Structure 1
């Protein structure tokens, strides 16, 4: 539904006024202007059955009631990977846990784990993508378990590429399927990894028939050197040593989009796509870096406060590609448009508090050691899942 001009200008004015409140961390009005015109289906949400809700335009508001958040404790949720378990591995500050996302024109319902499994009784949910999707998958399980009795029967089946968590009493399955690029990677006769930009049939077998799907991709398309996930790219039968990464992303996403349009029965299956998750490696992006500080997210304990900050061009490029592909689909998924709201959260990464690092590495301020890609649990992905929950159960 188009946004009336007067509504947009009122929203921007409202947000500018909020800048004078110390309790609010506000997304850039420039970014808001761009996002207000993206994917209007995201605004048809009615948590209170009163007015349209632009879920992804709003502010980070500090919780005054410290007892309400986080919803779960890291020690009570055994599914959290060591790389996301910041408090277990030495992070002592907790302010990053005390912010909730407030859309501009509605109140979000509190996540209710009992309602989640009751309404999805007998159904399956699957996150498909890279480790950012796994981050969100583990967050969702922790949120659900926080509202269920500890004795509630459950089963956790780890694996690669498929990991599955079952809530046996409700017949609900919550899974994660690792597919860094969504499209397939094959091994050729020389043992080389071939990224098949126009083939997704191998991966798609795993998620065909799932009731709720949430896809993500992004980070791995830009990796080079030793952390590059492929040796060759293949398109239309021709193999390439490399190509423009945005072109490759676009072709891979169109292959995925074509499969969704051709194979998903949207009245039966809900499909979501998670927007690009930003990283925070360069303090000059948020104007807080000095020569005495490490050049990464280490030591950051507060969200960005500069309302004029907009996220860097590489993310805008990936967002643009994603938008163009989603807009071209016959059956576009619901976009979990988390990029702008997450970019404000430079404080929410594991940094050096990761179980994958040695104690010596955790005390090292070398930028190559800190993880400024993933997110702590509990933490920011819990807000993503509150939005996922709202969109899943309260959308028209």
Structure 2
């Protein structure tokens, strides 16, 4: 009897142990599966979420950033919708507007171009709050580095902030062209800087051999970032980098101080190289310079280029921009040279992120601004009877106007950076 009980007990214990082993095995399998899924989710979450704008080659990109509820939202893909509250300042209330972008002053008859806001497809992008912006950047320095569209952006920001405070101009040597500006918001200890560098690399305008006259032909040293800005950024908290439009100009290209080709220079026995070659090398040099700055601990925003909207001719051959409403996203594609320049910026940006140690962020305004042919000064950058040699301006942006939305994007990204 005792042996029977003992045998039963042993069989029961073996069964229990067998069940325990099976349970442990199942739990182990579940843990392994969960771990694998977690790795996959983290990997997916950290991949750039390209949400491509419709293009002829199905390739136009926009980064995603978390909105204030921490949900993922692509703020750069959406549509322009009417905004009854806009504009948030006027050409009379803001004294920072450059004359060539003061469209209402110079007779633009319509005002609807000022009354739109950008609406992302899957979330809301809050309207710019000047108080919140100044609190976010309190004690910081922000520099706009690039061409006159970058200056256009900075002046838009100044106008939006003017409801709270105007900055003091403490530029060391103000010039008529405003190639360098340093402005301080005293109540917030916030400094705004503009540094003119339309190619981002070292450049020299060639002169006639018979005199001091400028030729409009530039020497570009494509592997040498412009020291006018690279030597100054160590103490900056944010830099906003831009370039593109000046690369359409005639230029002679150098690398390693040797002439390697040119764009439309028509020099004998010189290789003709496209805009894309110069732009790619220039951004590569600029990003390498930033990554090589050991004392720079700030954040670099690449502000992608804003397409021009010349129609019925080139900029110097009667082209103009006379539309009075935004496009819908399905009405226009990013294509041709615009697409090429955009993709080069994204590719070099990605390379800088991948191989560098500095913080790079994408301020991707290209998809939104492609849809705004109505926002340029056109012929309303000067008086009709003024004796000036100016072409219809379909590159810069009226103030107030669509460019004010760039501050909405920027504030959103700064808040995410702070978090």
Same-fold call, TM > 0.5?
Answer: yes
TM-score, structure 1 length as denominator? 0.78
Aligned length: 345
- Please list, as runs of the form range in 1=range in 2, the aligned pairs for 1:297-376 lying within 5 A after superposition: 297-298=321-322, 300-305=323-328, 307-329=330-352, 330=356, 331=358, 333-355=360-382, 358-360=383-385, 369-376=391-398
Contact 1:153 1:168 in 2 (8 A): yes
Separation (CA, whole Å) in 1 of partners of 2:400 and 2:94: 10
Contact 2:179 2:195 in 1 (8 A): yes
Structure showing greater radius of gyration is 2
2:285 corresponds in structure 1 to 255
- Please list, as runs of the form range in 1=range in 2, the aligned pairs for 1:1-396 lying within 5 A after superposition: 2=44, 29-30=54-55, 34-35=59-60, 38=61, 42-47=63-68, 49-63=69-83, 65=84, 68-148=85-165, 154-155=168-169, 157=171, 158-159=174-175, 160-186=178-204, 193-200=218-225, 202-203=227-228, 204-224=230-250, 230=251, 232-240=252-260, 242=262, 243-263=273-293, 268-282=297-311, 295-298=319-322, 300-305=323-328, 307-329=330-352, 330=356, 331=358, 333-355=360-382, 358-360=383-385, 369-395=391-417
Distance 1:156 1:84, change over 3 A: farther
> Any idea what SS the aligned residue of 2:160 has?
helix
Contact 2:53 2:77 in 1 (8 A): no
Q: Which runs of 5+ in 1 are unaligned?
A: 12-26, 225-229, 286-293
Separation (CA, whole Å) in 1 of partners of 2:104 and 2:122: 33
Q: Which runs of 5+ in 2 are unaligned?
A: 1-42, 263-272
TM-superposed CA distance for 1:305, in Å, is 3.8
> Any idea what SS the aligned residue of 1:34 has?
coil
Distance 1:3 1:297, change over 3 A: farther
Contact 1:155 1:168 in 2 (8 A): no
1:17 corresponds in structure 2 to none
> Any idea what SS the aligned residue of 1:360 has?
coil
Separation (CA, whole Å) in 1 of partners of 2:57 and 2:335: 15
Separation (CA, whole Å) in 1 of partners of 2:57 and 2:412: 20
Contact 1:28 1:309 in 2 (8 A): no
2:17 corresponds in structure 1 to none
TM-score, structure 2 length as denominator? 0.74
Q: CA RMSD in A?
A: 3.2
Name whichever of 385-394 and 323-332 sits farther off.
323-332
> Any idea what SS the aligned residue of 1:327 has?
helix
2:268 corresponds in structure 1 to none
